[in-house]
Amino acid sequence: MSRPPPPFSPQNPTPAPNPGGPASTLPASFSNLQISRAPPPSASAGPPLGDGPVPSSIRGPQAPPPGARPFPGSPPPPLQPGSLFARPAAPVQQSPPFGGPPAASVQQSPPFGGPPAAQPLLPQQRSPFNGPPSVLPPQVQRAPFGGPPGASQARPFGGPPAAVSQPAPFGGSSVATAQSAPYSAAPPPPFGGPPGAVPPQAYSGGPIPPFGAAPAPLQQGPYGGPPQFGGQRPGLQPPPFGAQTAPASQPPPFMGVPGANAPAFGPPGWQGQARPGGVRMPGGMPPNALGHGMPSTPTMPYSPHAGAQVSTPSNIDPNQIPRPIAETSVIIFETRQGGQAAVPPAASSEFIVKDTGNCSPRLMRCTLNQIPCTGDLLTTSAMPLALMVQPFALPHPSEEAIQLVDFGEMGPVRCSRCKAYINPFMRFVDQGKIFICNLCGFSNDTPREYLCNLGPDGRRRDADDRPELCRGTVEFIATKEFLVREPMPAVYFFLVDVSMNAVQTGVTAASCSAISQVLSDLPEGPRTMVGIATFDSTIHFYSLKNARQQPLMFIVPDIQDVYTPLQMDLILPVSECRDSLEQLLESIPSMFENNRVADSAFGAAMKAGFLAMKPTGGKLLVFQSVLPSVGTGSLSARETEARSNISTGDKEAHKLLQPVDKTLKTMALEFAEYQVCVDVFLATQSYTDIASISVVPSTTGGRVYYYFPFSAVSDPAKLFNDLRWNITKPQGFEAVMRVRCSQGLQVQDYSGNFCKRVPTDIDLPAIDSDKTIMVTFKHDDKFQENTECGFQCALLYTTVYGQRRIRVINISLPCTSTLNNLFRYADQEAQFTYVVKQAANGIPSSSLSQVRDQVISTCINILQSYRKHCASVSSSGQLILPEALKLLPLYTLALIKSIGLRNDGRVDDRSYWVSAVSSVSVLLAIPLVFPRMIALHDLTSRDDEDSLIPNPLTLNSENIQDDGIYLLENGEDGFIYVGNAVNPATLEQIFGFSSLAGAPNLLALEQFDHALSRKVNEVVNEIRRQRCSYLRLRLCRKGDPSGDFFRSLLVEDKAPGGLSYVEFLVHVHRQIQSKMT
């Protein structure tokens, strides 16, 4: 049995042996297309990197002891509104590393540091909105993210870790924590408080019953789904790494609510199941280590005789063209081997990182794994040079946590010229008295407290005991020089639309229900504060002081020049006002049920919320349902105006994708200055001008959540899960980030959701595990061959518990003067993510046809450069694709057919796509454009039971049968296509109805007592876990516009005005030929 395949495979699979030699002939159906192999890069290019011996002592991490939280920072399980909340189990303390000089103490962070350890208490369970109270049986403790915790277990971002020793994760011996080491390290509570002394408790409960339901039997897994790192599916081999095997009577640690439409939204789906291919060490794996048996370059030839007939798709066998291949094994990836950088595995593959000097590729990934020595070489290659930085990316559960280093009063050691932080690539000379900066080359005096002798190899003797000298990623406790003011508290201010439309469509009730249920997920402690206001054409504040019998409402009628009443009572510690806030949330929908005010003062309400938060900063969470129509920042229905004036509408269609004016941008800049991050939950059934509204979240480090058309039946569950993940995911506040690089390069630009006031730094009122910043570079000098180019990202931020930290992420890559090496070690997924982000940046300022042409020419220029400079095959009839970039044409075709770049579609949908892409990670950018399709109707009769999710189908209509049901998902939405001839019994088993007549377009998937229904729920829940997103499910019918939309997502098919995949390859080939001649 094996794990579900990742959404996309690594893009360097070893090609099957080719018995016929370099250009063996394929079956007759493929007579016009040959596969030939370009020879490997010439020997003159120097030896490939990373061929040093792989240390034999590296083993997979051992299983954490029972009670260890399986997945630091994993998403909480999505729950139905009305379900209970869960907390993670207490983490376990790790052995301190070996003693070093007493200059700096290392704790292994509470990575999102917590309050001084006090034993967390189990909050009293309340059933939101007068549901019957839930009675938890005494033996049910809260399970990590999904069952109720026992009294001594840690909360997701808080609570003390236990003082228990743990086996060293990569095969080192475990050292008892009692041992006194001058230089101590302890692993974090996943996002918790400083190490405390609460013993861990092994999870021993069952899933939480939904309201009124009996508790589920203890041995049941979540919806019969696979256990996530703990517990095994029947017949499964033990998971290879760090997977704790639970006793048979113990449920797996990630639990959802039985019977609810919700997965145990645990770690992304690659956690927890063994794959048939077993585990590969990096040394034996081509995508993993430079030069380890790298496959030679496959080419995609067209025969020289092709001429005009090349364009006839019948001559090309579509089964032979490049497509993503499902990866089947877990990779242990050592970031450096033999003193050289190793090539990271594909972002979509399943890997466990061992940080041996370079950071995890989840945190920082470069589009090129070798850096061109000159700008001319980079220009010749036509490839981009950019970093994708995701500072809080979720780790794999078997990875070591990031170490926290405390240098005390002296603060972290830094280069006195460029201010780079101490890292493994700084060289110590002159008996350790001088250190040379790896970025600017300056020689610095080593501080006296930090001196240490050098060993015979020239390294400091304590280098392996100091995380900052041997790890690519480390956190420092910030000293007073980094504090402009006291670290801010965790402030959450909710702003709810109560206009007529919001109340009547159910948005107000869904928002209040979601807020009420996430109160128990807010970080615990006296520093967590909340406030709430509602708005229609006026703004209503509420004083939540407990002393009063019920909350008092204060109305602010002036929506042009906004103010806030009673500054002191509006935002209070959650511990002081939780009861009155829950009472208020329960009554808001009925208070406004007869509201006849249709106007919405969205801009004014945000400004008023900001004024209340201005002294502290924090998160402003806005629930909005209509186009803002009155007050400051009001908008008009531009889309309708453009449609009525078609002549200008077509010429200047892209102007609808720009903000209408600067009002909201000016407001957003002020919010960012005072550390207020805005997230907007747009639940609507009409045009809301996302192009203008999204400016506020994108400038303040937030994001837009979009529910169109809002359904009061199916969308409250998604709204609740989105809000819950927003609050519980790993995150930091009032952050500043800077990326530094070696002399020879300079930062050209930053791209993402942030505010930029000075050229070198970006300000992030909030940054979380889902956000990625793209940093592009240009040459300003030359590098020498065989040197390395370093990059360092430094992120100064405040944890949700008020500790100021600096997260420093380093990577050092070899420089090359050989074009072959640039192509050989290109990162396909990072490069394509760059192309997607560049396209999204261009959409508001250029016509769609111009953006599509730019995307296609980027692809053609890269492939033409390879064909011209690197390919040895001389036949002009061949389309030759570099092995590392062979999916570039397929992904390019998918991008030009995507929601963002297709001609049809609503303006708001395109604007939302642009806003989503601006901060999307490499892992989620590919599925957003190139979705995954699987068949649902035959899940119970599958042969490949190895994985929970069946292998994806190729995206063409040949795979769509009339009697089938198919799910196509892009990480945001799930489209379920139902053919005309589907057996009514199958429909009944999956959906609970036997006919599509009258079936809703938006589905709330239920689980019925049938094997097929259980399987479908397992698959959907597993996808939700992998994507950290609660998919909205839409029903698509054949012969209906929804069915046509589904088919338009099959990117390999010919589309009206668009090419099929085979035709696109022919087009690319012809463009390259014309450039060559």
User: Which range, of 101-115, 319-333, 594-608, averages the lowest pLDDT?
Assistant: 101-115
pLDDT greater at residue 285 or residue 389:
389
Q: Identify the pLDDT of residue 172.
A: 38
Q: In the predicted model, is pLDDT for residue 925 greater than 90?
A: yes
Q: How confident is the model at residue 943 (pLDDT cuts 50, 70, 90)?
A: low
Q: What is the mean pLDDT of the chain?
A: 76
State residue 877's pLDDT score: 73
Query: Residue 972 in contact with residue 1031, Cβ under 8 Å?
Result: yes
Confidence (pLDDT) at 772: 98
Beta strand 427-429 pairing with 434-436: antiparallel
How large is the average pLDDT for residues 884-895?
97
Residues 251, 207 contacting (CB under 8 angstroms): yes
Task: Return d(Cα 373, Cα 376) in angstroms, integer.
Answer: 9
Stretch (H or E) spanning 638: helix 638-644
- The whole-number pLDDT of residue 643 equals 63
CB atoms closer than 10 angstroms to residue 167: 18
Longest dimension (CA), the chain: 88
Mean pLDDT of 656-675: 93
Average pLDDT of the segment spanning 837-858: 95
Name which of 160-164, 416-420, 849-853 the model is least confident about.
160-164
Q: Is residue 1032 a contact partner of residue 968, using CB atoms and an 8 Å limit?
A: no
Q: Which residues contact 42 (CB under 8 A, 6 or more apart)?
A: 820
Give residue 546's pLDDT. 66
- β-strand partners of 332: 352
Indicate whether 161 pLDDT > 60. no
* 423-427, 493-497, 640-644: segment of lowest average pLDDT: 640-644
Q: Where are the domains of the chain?
A: 403-483+732-820, 490-729, 931-1050
> Which residues have a Cβ under 8 Å from the Cβ of 120 and sit 6 or more positions away?
87, 149, 151, 152, 153, 154, 155, 158, 159, 160, 524
How far is the CA of 465 from the CAs of 51, 96, 183, 405, in angstroms?
26, 9, 8, 12
Average pLDDT of span 853-862 = 97
Nearest-5° angle of CA 839, CA 842, CA 846? 125
pLDDT (tens digit per residue) in 239-259:
333 333 333 333 333 333 333
Which fold does the domain 403-483+732-820 belong to in CATH?
Immunoglobulin-like (2.60.40)
Q: What is the pLDDT of residue 996?
A: 87
Predicted pLDDT of residue 397:
93
Residue in the structure block whose two tokens are 């349902």? 625
Look at residue 739 and give its three-state secondary structure.
strand
Which residues are CB-neighbours of 615 under 8 A, at least 6 positions away?
A: none
Averaged over 892-905, what is the pLDDT?
93
Distances (CA, A) of 766 to 25, 620, 699, 762, 796: 57, 11, 10, 11, 11
pLDDT, one tens digit per residue, over 707-754 is 999 999 999 999 999 999 999 999 999 999 999 999 999 999 999 999
pLDDT over 70 for what percent of the chain? Answer: 68
Distance between terminal CA atoms of the chain?
Answer: 53
Residue 1054: its H or E element: none
Q: Among the residues of 798-939, which ranges form H helices?
A: 819-824, 828-842, 848-869, 888-896, 907-917, 922-929
**pLDDT tens profile 767-822:** 999 999 999 999 999 999 999 999 999 999 999 999 999 999 999 999 999 999 99
Banded model confidence at residue 79, pLDDT cuts 50, 70, 90? low
Nearest alpha-carbon partner for 513 in 591, 609, 577, 582: 582
Q: What does R_g of the chain's alpha carbons equal in angstroms?
A: 28
State which H helix or E strand residue 422 sits in. none
Look up residue 567 and give its two tokens. Answer: 């500054």
Q: What is the DSSP string of 352-421?
A: EEE-SSSPPTTTEEESBSSEESSHHHHHHHT---EEEE-TTPPPPTTSPPPEEEE-GGG-S-B-TTT-PB
DSSP 915-965: HHHTT--HHHHHHHHS-EEEE-TTGGG-S-TTSSSPPPBPSSGGG--TT-E
- As a whole number of angstroms, the distance between CA 527 and CA 802 comes to 8
Q: What is the pLDDT at residue 295? A: 36
> How far apart, in whole angstroms, are the C-alpha atoms of residue 88 and residue 91?
8
State the helix-helix crossing angle for 507-518 and 715-728, rounded to 10 degrees: 40
The pLDDT score that the predictor gives to residue 190 is: 38
pLDDT of 977-1020, one tens digit each? 999 999 999 999 999 998 888 888 999 899 999 999 999 999 99
Among residues 457, 454, 551, 515, which one has the least CA distance to residue 681?
A: 515
| Residues 490-729, CATH architecture | 3-Layer(aba) Sandwich (3.40)
State residue 65's pLDDT score: 37
Give one DSSP letter per residue of 482-527, joined into a string.
Answer: G-SSSPPPEEEEEEEE-SHHHHHHTHHHHHHHHHHHHGGGSPPSTT
pLDDT at 426 over 70: yes
| pLDDT the model gives residue 286 | 35
Select from 1.10.3470.10, 3.40.20.10, 3.30.1490.20, 2.40.50.140 the CATH code of 931-1050: 3.40.20.10
Distances (CA, A) of 904 to 685, 738, 932: 19, 39, 22
Lowest mean pLDDT among 165-174, 400-409, 522-531, 889-898: 165-174
From 207-221, 333-347, 763-777, 956-970, the region with the lowest mean pLDDT: 207-221
pLDDT at 835: 98
Give the helix/strand (H/E) hosting 444. strand 443-445
Instruction: Average the pLDDT over 198-204 and give the result.
Output: 34
- Angle at 1038 (CA atoms; ends 1064, 960), nearest 5 degrees: 50
